[in-house]
Structure 1
Amino acid sequence: MTDFDDTWLPKPENLTLLSDEVHVWRIHLDRPESELQDLAATLSSDELTRANRFYFPEHRRRFIAGRGILRSILGNYLGVVAQEVKFDYEPRGKPLLASSFAQSGLLFNLSHSENLALCAVNYSRQIGIDLEYLRTTSDLEGLAQRFFLPREYDLVRSLPDEQKSKVFFRYWTCKEAYLKATGDGIAQLEKIEVALTPTEPARLQIFPDWHLLELVPDNNCVAAVAVAGFGWQLKCWQY
Structure 2
Amino acid sequence: MTFANHEWFPAPTDLTLLPDDVHIWRIKLERSQLELEGLLTTLCGDEVARANRFYFQQHRERFIAGRGILRAILGRYLKIEPQAVQFNYEAQGKPLLADKFASSGLSFNLSHSQDLALCAVTTHHLIGVDLEYIRSVSNVESLAQRFFAPREYAIVRSLPPDQQQQVFFRYWTCKEAYLKATGVGIAHLEKVEISLTPESPAKLNIKEEWSLVELVPAPNYVAATAVAGSKFHLKCWQY
TM-score (norm 1): 0.98
Q: Structure 2: give runs of 5+ residues left out of the alignment.
A: none
1:111 match: 111
1:143 match: 143
Deviation at 1:206, TM superposition (A): 1.9
1:172 match: 172
Change (3 A) 1:207 1:221: farther
2:77 match: 77
Deviation at 1:210, TM superposition (A): 0.4
- Output the CA distance in 1 between the equivalents of 2:128 and 2:4: 20
> Bigger shift: 200-209 or 167-176?
200-209
Deviation at 1:55, TM superposition (A): 0.1
- Output the CA distance in 2 between the equivalents of 1:29 and 1:52: 17
Matched residue SS, 1:112: strand
- Output the CA distance in 1 between the equivalents of 2:196 and 2:170: 9
2:96 match: 96
- Output the CA distance in 1 between the equivalents of 2:216 and 2:165: 15
Matched residue SS, 2:3: coil
1:215 match: 215
Give the AA of the match of 1:2: F
> Bigger shift: 68-77 or 88-97?
88-97
Deviation sequence 1:40-95 (CA, Å, 0-9, x none): 00000100000000000000000000000000000000010000000011111111
- Output the CA distance in 2 between the equivalents of 1:28 and 1:229: 29
Which consecutive segments of 4 or more residues in structure 1 shift more than 3 A?
none
Matched residue SS, 1:151: helix
Deviation at 1:152, TM superposition (A): 0.5
Matched residue SS, 1:153: helix
Alignment size in residue pairs:
238
Matches within 5 A, 1:182-221: 182-221=182-221
- Output the CA distance in 2 between the equivalents of 1:105 and 1:217: 27
TM-score (norm 2): 0.98
2:3 match: 2
Query: In 1, are the aligned partners of 2:26 and 2:117 still within 8 Å (CA)?
Result: yes
Deviation at 1:230, TM superposition (A): 1.3
Deviation sequence 1:138-182 (CA, Å, 0-9, x none): 211000000101111011011010000000000000000000000
Amino-acid identity (%): 63
Matched residue SS, 1:49: helix
1:123 match: 123
- Output the CA distance in 1 between the equivalents of 2:15 and 2:26: 15
- Output the CA distance in 2 between the equivalents of 1:75 and 1:100: 14
Query: In 1, are the aligned partners of 2:4 and 2:214 still within 8 Å (CA)?
Result: no
Alignment root-mean-square deviation, CA: 0.8
The answer to whether the aligner puts 1:228 opposite 2:196 as a matched pair is: no
